[in-house]
């Protein structure tokens, strides 16, 4: 049976979330399902949760449509290559092949920030913007997605730029603000250092700020001075799922 929608699944540190996506509208077709990430979040343990989510939505997605999945890591042609904030056993895993075998459908695994960026560029804050668009997600780490005229350059990993002798995400991610109990002003100073450096290297025309903390963008974005306009993401936590579904449908 051919269902109407494409399933996107977002694998995060605490939850694995999936929803059928209406790609005409760029929104969830039904309410999402969330299952806690297994304590030992190895590829095989996660694949069991993914299979459960796929089964749950069979009516909406049909029996043969492709599935898009995000992971917080470099994904090079379906193979996971890094594990900054996930179980190290992911490194070297052929995630496309493994998930495809487990669920019996074509699966397209992509970096989480790339997926969020794709969603924002097609349906959200980046819509209609040509030129260089940079999405950054501020969460446990810093994820980045870089676009030129709407085309993604995958796996940019600009959260790991070395700035002042540090891996940038350890200083400026949202987790650093929480860990060090920084005021919004102090955190904005860190973000300023980060975005100034990124702007000097890439000269984006638009910067989009995503991640859960984009809900509170009014607390820190007005404190930043960037050459390019810097705006909050519009699809918030739904962006990863929507972008994963978009990529599964369009990239196969």
Please count the residues of this chain forming the interface with ligand BGC, following the rule CB under 6 A: 16
Judged by CB under 6 A, which stretch of 20-28, 30-38, 80-88, 124-132 contacts ligand BGC?
A: 80-88
Whole-number Å distance between alpha carbons of 126 and 129: 6
Binding string, 205-224, against ligand BGC, x = CB under 6 A?
A: --------------------
- Identify the residue among 33, 85, 106, 196 touching ligand BGC (CB under 6 A): 85
Q: How far is the CB of 115 from ligand BGC (least distance, A)?
A: 9
Of 13 and 62, which has the nearer Cβ to ligand BGC?
Answer: 13
Closest residue by Cα to residue 114 from 10, 190, 199, 41: 10
Contact 56, 108 (CB under 8 A): no
Q: Please report whether residue 73 would count as binding ligand BGC according to CB under 6 A.
A: yes
Pick the closer one to ligand BGC by CB: 143 or 243: 143
**How many beta carbons lie within 10 A of that of residue 208, not counting itself?**
28
- Among 10, 87, 96, 112, interactor with ligand BGC by CB under 6 A: 112
* Chain position carrying tokens 């070297």: 92
If we measure between CA atoms, which residue out of 179, 209, 185, 182 comes closest to residue 195? Answer: 209
DSSP 234: S
Helices (H), the chain: 43-56, 58-61, 95-103, 112-123, 168-172, 174-179, 184-202, 239-251
- 67-71 vs 162-163, strand pairing mode: unpaired
Q: Rounded to an integer, what distance in angstroms lies between the CA atom of residue 46 and that of residue 126?
A: 31
Query: What's the distance, CA 48 to chain centroid?
Result: 21
Question: What is the pattern of x (binds ligand BGC, CB under 6 A) and - over residues 123-162?
Answer: --------------x-x-x-x-------------x-x---
**Does residue 243 bind ligand BGC (CB under 6 A)?**
no
Site map (CB under 6 A) of ligand BGC, residues 170-189, x = contact: --------------------
**Binding footprint of ligand BGC on the chain (CB under 6 A):** 72-74, 82, 84-85, 111-113, 137, 139, 141, 143, 157, 159, 169
């Amino acid at each position: 049976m051919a269902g109407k929608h494409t399933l996107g699944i977002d694998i995060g540190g605490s939850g694995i979330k999936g929803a059928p996506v209406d790609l005409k509208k760029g929104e969830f077709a039904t309410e999402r399902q969330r299952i806690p990430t297994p304590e030992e979040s190895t590829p095989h343990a996660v694949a069991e949760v993914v299979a459960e989510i796929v089964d749950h939505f069979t009516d909406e997605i049909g029996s043969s449509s492709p599935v898009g999945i995000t992971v917080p890591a470099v994904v090079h042609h379906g193979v996971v290559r890094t594990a900054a904030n996930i179980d190290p056993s992911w490194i070297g895993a052929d995630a496309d092949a493994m998930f495809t075998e487990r669920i019996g459908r074509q699966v397209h695994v992509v970096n989480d920030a790339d997926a969020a960026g794709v969603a924002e560029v097609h349906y959200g804050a980046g819509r209609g913007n040509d030129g260089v668009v940079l999405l950054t997600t501020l969460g446990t780490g810093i994820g980045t997605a870089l676009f030129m005229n709407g085309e993604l350059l995958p796996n940019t990993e600009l959260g790991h730029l070395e700035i002042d002798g540090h891996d940038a995400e350890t200083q400026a991610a949202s987790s650093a603000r929480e860990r060090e109990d920084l005021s919004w002003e102090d955190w904005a100073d860190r973000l300023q250092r980060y975005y100034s450096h990124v702007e000097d290297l890439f000269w984006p025309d638009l910067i989009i700020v995503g991640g859960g903390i984009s809900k509170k963008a009014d607390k820190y974005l007005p404190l930043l001075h960037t050459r390019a306009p810097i705006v909050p993401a519009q699809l918030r936590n739904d962006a990863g799922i929507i972008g994963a579904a978009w990529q599964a449908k369009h990239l196969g």
